[in-house]
Amino acid sequence: MINALRGMKDTLSPQSEIYQYIIATCTRIAQNYGFSFMETPILEETALFKRSVGESSDIVGKEMYQFIDKGENDVCLRPEGTAGIVRAFIQQKFDKAGGNRRFFYHGPMFRYERPQKGRLRQFHQFGAESFGEGDVREDATIILMLKAMFEALGIGFTLEINSLGCPACMPQYRTTLVKFLETREGLCEDCERRKLTNPIRVLDCKNEHCKTLLADAPLITEHLCITCKDDFTTLKRILDQFGVSYLVNPKLVRGLDYYSKTAFEFVSSEIGAQSAIAGGGRYDRLVEFLDGKSTPAVGFAMGIERLMELVKMPEIEREGYYIGALCDEALDVVFELVDRKRKTEKVLTDYDAKSLKNHLKIADKNFVKFCVCIGEDELSKQSVWIKDLVSKEEKIINIAHF
Ligand code: HAM
């Protein structure tokens, strides 16, 4: 027997209904905020992710589904959505056209991680990316949009924010941090590597010994330039004004290399160790880095499987019809009626004649609102028997009026 690969899974009803509900809810809200849907390929050139997500990240360093295709191209299943959207943005020459563009997307992402609860190798994200707006109010708007999505889904969260600085202040902070790291002995292997490739990622290490060694590390929030400091203050002020509680975490650096200024993560305490339900931030240098015209950008992505654990679905209401035949002679009439009714309604049926009791059982199991049956009596009178399974009311009506 062939099973799905480790860390990959099938999504069936009722979970698939929750999945669709999350997509529909977030789509509606993203559209209200002026975002339009973009679909990009799942397979992209490996170089795209190396240059955007960054060679020093775990995603590129350890987790990519990378292979050489039949045309000798080095390709990769996308580990995240931002890089593809940025590539498309540049390819469509939106960077040259200027102005603001806002896109949302959803679909499968692939990371060859060690599978555990809440961590899959194929998982799904809903994300949004905004281009052309450098004002920190856009960062605040993205966070408010996420808050609206989680509220609509009935999901509680805590929000952590940080500012990672910009080219004016980041290099200086980096030098200060590297000097500090050189005084620390006994950092783990990953940290020793990151010290050379991307030192701020050291701050994010989960190793308890590293955490102790880094307890008094210099913090980026204390080394921001005036512009970054002002923007971070404005962001906090807007969040306060809109009643969004947050925690400033100066060690929140995110696992992807493209961020500058605002970085944030939404966390849930209800789903175990893999608690990040959404993450994002500003990435003002990425468009230029991928050979486009310099364009400020900010965005987020959330993990749909993690949200599925938390979402409170509204009570499902009975809907649609079940139509069944009580005798073989009625089968053709039922078949035709089902096809006609399906033009406007959800209709279920059965191709065998059955007793009324059995039809009612199937209708109830499928949670439809009406059970409709046709037997000898109904055939002779050109009528149908119909029962409302909510009000329990039964009646016979002319088939022409059904
Ligand atoms: P990320 O933090 O790597 O950011 O992923 C976003 C979310 O995807 C996470 O918060 C988590 O909910 C979910 N996720 C990540 N890895 C897994 C996994 N292995 N299994 C299940 N869920 C997972 C990004 O991907 C950025 N592209 C976000 C962004 C958009 N930043 C700016 N724009």
Rounded Cα gap, residues 62 and 237, in angstroms: 39
Where along the chain do the CATH 3.30.930.10 domains lie? 15-169+224-308
Rounded Cα gap, residues 108 and 105, in angstroms: 10
Decide: 80 in ligand 1 pocket, CB within 6 A: yes
Rounded Cα gap, residues 282 and 34, in angstroms: 18
- Ligand 1 centroid from CA 126, angstroms: 9
Decide: 301 in ligand 1 pocket, CB within 6 A: yes
Q: 321-401 sits in which CATH class?
A: alpha beta
**DSSP summary character for residue 40:** -
pLDDT in tens, 252-291: 999 898 999 999 999 999 999 899 999 999 999 999 999 9
Strand partners, 266: 159, 278
Q: Taking the CB of residue 8, how many other CB atoms lie within 10 A of it? A: 14
Per DSSP, helices labelled H in 242-296 are: 286-289
pLDDT score of 315 more than 90: no
Q: Taking the CB of residue 277, how many other CB atoms lie within 10 A of it? A: 23
pLDDT in tens, 110-148: 999 999 999 999 999 999 999 999 999 999 999 999 999
Per DSSP, helices labelled H in 10-135 are: 15-32, 46-52, 58-62, 82-91, 94-97
Decide: 7 in ligand 1 pocket, CB within 6 A: no
What pLDDT, on a 0 to 100 scale, did the predictor assign at position 155?
Answer: 96
Rounded Cα gap, residues 309 and 313, in angstroms: 11
What pLDDT, on a 0 to 100 scale, did the predictor assign at position 204?
Answer: 86
Q: What ligand 1 atom has the least distance to the C-alpha of 255? A: 3
What pLDDT, on a 0 to 100 scale, did the predictor assign at position 22?
Answer: 98
pLDDT score of 316 more than 90: no
The CATH code belonging to domain 15-169+224-308 is 3.30.930.10
Q: Is 111 a known ligand-binding residue?
A: yes
Q: Is 254 a known ligand-binding residue?
A: yes
Q: Sorting pLDDT into bands at 50, 70 and 90, what band is 312?
A: confident
Q: Once rounded to an integer, what is the mean pLDDT over residues 77-99?
A: 98
Q: Are 50 and 289 in contact (CB under 8 A)?
A: no
pLDDT score of 97 more than 90: yes
Which of these, 365, 372, 359, lies nearest to 399 by C-alpha position? 372
State the pairing for strand pair 74-77/101-110.
unpaired
Where along the chain do the CATH 3.40.50.800 domains lie? 321-401
pLDDT in tens, 363-385: 999 999 999 999 999 999 999 99
The pTM of the whole model exceeds 0.75: yes
User: Which structure tokens are listed for 335?
Assistant: 């078949």
Decide: 35 in ligand 1 pocket, CB within 6 A: no
What pLDDT, on a 0 to 100 scale, did the predictor assign at position 238?
Answer: 98
Decide: 46 in ligand 1 pocket, CB within 6 A: no
- H/E segment holding residue 323: strand 321-325
- H/E segment holding residue 137: helix 136-153
pLDDT score of 314 more than 90: no
Q: Which of 121, 306, 309 to mutate to test the pocket of ligand 1 (most atoms within 8 A of CB)?
A: 306
- H/E segment holding residue 123: strand 122-131
**DSSP-derived secondary structure for 155-199:** ---EEEEEE---TTTHHHHHHHHHHHHHT-----HHHHHHHHH-G
The two counts, helices (H) then strands (E), for the chain are 15, 16
* Neighbour-count burial for 167-190, b at 16+ CB within 10 Å, e otherwise: eebbeebbebbeeebeeeeebbeb
Minimal-distance CA residue to ligand 1 atom 23? 303
